[in-house]
Amino acid sequence: MEIKKIESSYIIHHGLESLPQVDQNLIAYAITQLDHAYAPYSQFKVGAAVRLKDGSTYAGCNQENSSYPLCMCGERVALYNAAVYSPNVAPETLAIVIKNEKKAITTPVSPCGACRQVIAEFEQRFKNTIRILLTSDSKTIYELNSVQDILPLSFDSSFL
């Protein structure tokens, strides 16, 4: 038997001012997407914005459906928008903002498993890591260097 240890780390920012202006702008763009989220069932809104290596940005928000498996998460909508309009440009940073209309969320919330896997696919596809910025109602921002920090044993095309 062999035991291996998996560790992950992230940076905690206590306010936007500790981030570069380009990251502050990306988070602000993600926040604007909360107004477009369709979340009548959960009241849990997700706004996301992705900045690509060429500086262009794309956004998305969650879209719920009464048949829950058909819902689309904001992270995936943003990444897929980028893939449609800039298919050959690698994502650099993904900002994810959440808001629960029923209660205050005082810590950032990480992406669901499906979104983690999609982010991992984009990292593999473009052979680069994607920084992830997470925030909520609080002023706290979590900065991850890669999705591998929260999905260390991801599935990828090398298994196919």
Give catalytic residues, as residue numbers: 75
10 Å CB burial of residue 16 (0-12, 13-18, 19+) is middle
Q: What SS3 string covers the chain?
A: CCCCCCCCCCEEEECHHHCCHHHHHHHHHHHHHHHHCECCCCCEEEEEEEEECCCCEEEEECECCCCHHHCECHHHHHHHHHHHHCCCCCEEEEEEEEEECCCCCCCCCCCCHHHHHHHHHHHHHHCCCCEEEEECCCCEEEEECCHHHCCCCCCCHHHC
Query: Apex CA 89: angle with CA 97 and CA 63, to 5°?
Result: 35
